A and B are shown apart, each in its own frame.
Chain A
Amino acid sequence: MEAYDLIVVGGGLVGAALAWGAQTAGANVVLLDEGDQAHRAARGNFGLVWLQGKGVGTPPYMQWSLHAGRVWPAFAARLSNAVSFDIGWRQPGGLQFCFSEAELDKRRDVIARTRADGGDIDISILDRADLRALLPGIGDEVVGASFSPLDGHVNPLHLLRALQQGFQDAGGRYRPGFRVEHIVTERDGFKAVSRTGSVAGTRIALAAGLGAAKLASEVGLSMPVKPERGQIVVTERIKPFLPYATNCIRQSVEGTVLLGSSHEDRGFDDGTDVPTAAALCRTAARVFPALSEATVVRSWGSLRVMTPDGRPIYEESARFPGAFAVTCHSGVTLASVHALEIGPSLAKGRLPEHLSSFTSGRFDVHQD
């Protein structure tokens, strides 16, 4: 049987980033990927690296996210050097549009709370005139926006491909079609068992998104994640007109325009519906009236991986040391730190110490 330093369960953005980081740091890693039939959030992701407002009220999460944003350029450069295609990473800054003074006041409040939490991020309020100067095509209904130069965007499919390819180029073993059914704990490590075979490793990291909850309990971990559906609409290719990341409209390097995204509780149904797509299109046309003449070519639904408080879980099993839980819903934004910091740390057999507040114990009911 094959034996590795580290088994990573889950070949999506989180798992591929960890595997890439651990393998390039010198560990012998196997990445077990259920495949494209899995509920893969990376497939449906909007592609934002979004920092303004992230983690407000939760300073450790805010600091971790801001750190992720600051190391993204170095991460993107390292990844881009290793592959022959453009992963679509751009950091032009991000705009969150407001349709009323009340919405603008909420953004002012986000800025104040970010300052109060010690968040080192430049966020400014743009009024209608400021915004018009940046984007002449903006609609009359938009009264302003908040802007942060730290926000960026990337093609999530190309990011995933680059991580999987980079991982294999570094000597990592990628096993597609390997759906882990059980994890067996052994004296000197773990065994991941599928219907067709098994793989052994000294350590194991569970990064299987919505599929991880059941496996986690087998190694003394808790990953109480639930699906949240997001739908996205995409248009035909249009000449570049939007050189910024925004909260609801993103123009890809290739010219398509993504309109997103919804937040729906629909269980494991990753389908689409016309009223939701229409609402996304309406919002986009309020921001850029000219978009109303664009042709929609596709829409899709995908499932976010949500913990009860929306923050990541990073945890090593107390009962079975060497088993790790890693999950979050910001697989794109946090890809940089998963790849550059958690992966190399797992290669040494531990999680970074400063992430100790991200364990699942925070969901337990405490009685004094």
Chain B
Amino acid sequence: MFTRIERGSALPADGNVLDFEGSQISFRSGDSVAAALLAAGVSHLRESPVDESARAPYCMMGVCFECLVEIDGRQNQQSCLTRASPGMIIKRQHGARTLG
């Protein structure tokens, strides 16, 4: 759905890879987690707590909370505000988070 504007530059092969639901996702330094996932063709990041429908990042600036994911075991993280880093383990956020 999304393509990068800078087509020319190749992805650096220096281990810029994160894990999303078991798949290896390459990204560029400076990408947010949401941008990395969208660029890799992943748009189903979570399911709504209200009607369980699939959701994708919407505002990309920290306002809408549509891009919530679990990052390294921490639930409800705003992927558009989190810089991607190598080795991150990302999972979909299924509904509302749990406590404890």
> Residues on A close to B: CB < 8 A?
137, 236-241, 254-255, 288, 290-291, 293-295, 297
B59 is an interface residue with CB less than 8 A from chain A: no
Per-residue CB contact flags for chain B residues 85-97 toward chain A (1 = under 8 Å, else 0) read: 0000000000111
Complex contact A290–B100 (CB within 8 A): yes
Least CB distance, B78 to chain A, in whole angstroms:
9
Residues of A within 8 A of B97 (CB): 236-239
Residues of B within 8 A of A239 (CB): 49, 95-99
Task: Tell me the residues in window 8-38 of chain B with beta carbons closer than 8 Å to chain A beta carbons.
Answer: none
25 contacts between A and B (CB under 8 A): A137-B99, A137-B100, A236-B65, A236-B76, A236-B97, A237-B76, A237-B96, A238-B97, A238-B98, A238-B99, A239-B49, A239-B96, A239-B97, A239-B99, A240-B96, A241-B99, A254-B49, A255-B49, A255-B96, A288-B99, A290-B99, A290-B100, A293-B99, A295-B76, A297-B65
Given A254-B50, A295-B76, CB of A238 within 8 Å of CB of B96? yes
Residues of B within 8 A of A290 (CB): 99-100
Residues of B within 8 A of A238 (CB): 96-99
Can you name the residue of chain A whose Cβ is closest to the Cβ of B74? A293
Can you name the residue of chain B whose Cβ is closest to the Cβ of A241? B99
Instruction: Report Cα–Cα, A294/B100, bound state, in Å.
Output: 10
Residues of B within 8 A of A240 (CB): 96
Instruction: Report Cα–Cα, A240/B76, bound state, in Å.
Output: 15
Q: Which of B49, B65, B95, B99 contacts A294 (CB 8 A)?
A: B99
Residues of A within 8 A of B100 (CB): 137, 290, 293
Residues of B within 8 A of A295 (CB): 76
Q: Apart from A237-B76, A238-B99, A239-B96, what are 20 other A-B pairs with CB-CB below 8 Å?
A: A236-B65, A236-B76, A236-B97, A237-B97, A238-B97, A238-B98, A239-B49, A239-B95, A239-B97, A239-B98, A240-B96, A241-B99, A255-B49, A290-B99, A291-B99, A293-B99, A293-B100, A294-B99, A295-B76, A297-B65
Residues of A within 8 A of B99 (CB): 137, 238-239, 241, 288, 290-291, 293-294
Residues of B within 8 A of A137 (CB): 99-100
Residues of B within 8 A of A291 (CB): 99
Can you name the residue of chain B whose Cβ is closest to the Cβ of A294? B99
Can you name the residue of chain B whose Cβ is closest to the Cβ of A255? B96
Instruction: Report Cα–Cα, A240/B65, bound state, in Å.
Output: 18
Residues of B within 8 A of A237 (CB): 49, 76, 96-97
Instruction: Report Cα–Cα, A87/B49, bound state, in Å.
Output: 18
Instruction: Report Cα–Cα, A238/B95, bound state, in Å.
Output: 9
Instruction: Report Cα–Cα, A255/B97, bound state, in Å.
Output: 9
Least CB distance, A284 to chain B, in whole angstroms:
12
Instruction: Report Cα–Cα, A297/B76, bound state, in Å.
Output: 11
Instruction: Report Cα–Cα, A241/B76, bound state, in Å.
Output: 16
Can you name the residue of chain B whose Cβ is closest to the Cβ of A291? B99
Can you name the residue of chain B whose Cβ is closest to the Cβ of A288? B99
Least CB distance, A247 to chain B, in whole angstroms:
20
Least CB distance, B64 to chain A, in whole angstroms:
12
Instruction: Report Cα–Cα, A294/B76, bound state, in Å.
Output: 9
Instruction: Report Cα–Cα, A253/B99, bound state, in Å.
Output: 17
Least CB distance, A70 to chain B, in whole angstroms:
31
Residues of A within 8 A of B49 (CB): 237, 239, 254-255
Can you name the residue of chain A whose Cβ is closest to the Cβ of B48? A237
Q: Which 5 A-B pairs have the closest CB atoms?
A: A290-B100, A290-B99, A239-B96, A255-B96, A237-B96
Residues of A within 8 A of B95 (CB): 239
Least CB distance, B10 to chain A, in whole angstroms:
37
Least CB distance, B52 to chain A, in whole angstroms:
13
Instruction: Report Cα–Cα, A239/B100, bound state, in Å.
Output: 11
Least CB distance, A33 to chain B, in whole angstroms:
27
Least CB distance, B90 to chain A, in whole angstroms:
17
Residues of A within 8 A of B98 (CB): 238-239
Instruction: Report Cα–Cα, A266/B2, bound state, in Å.
Output: 50
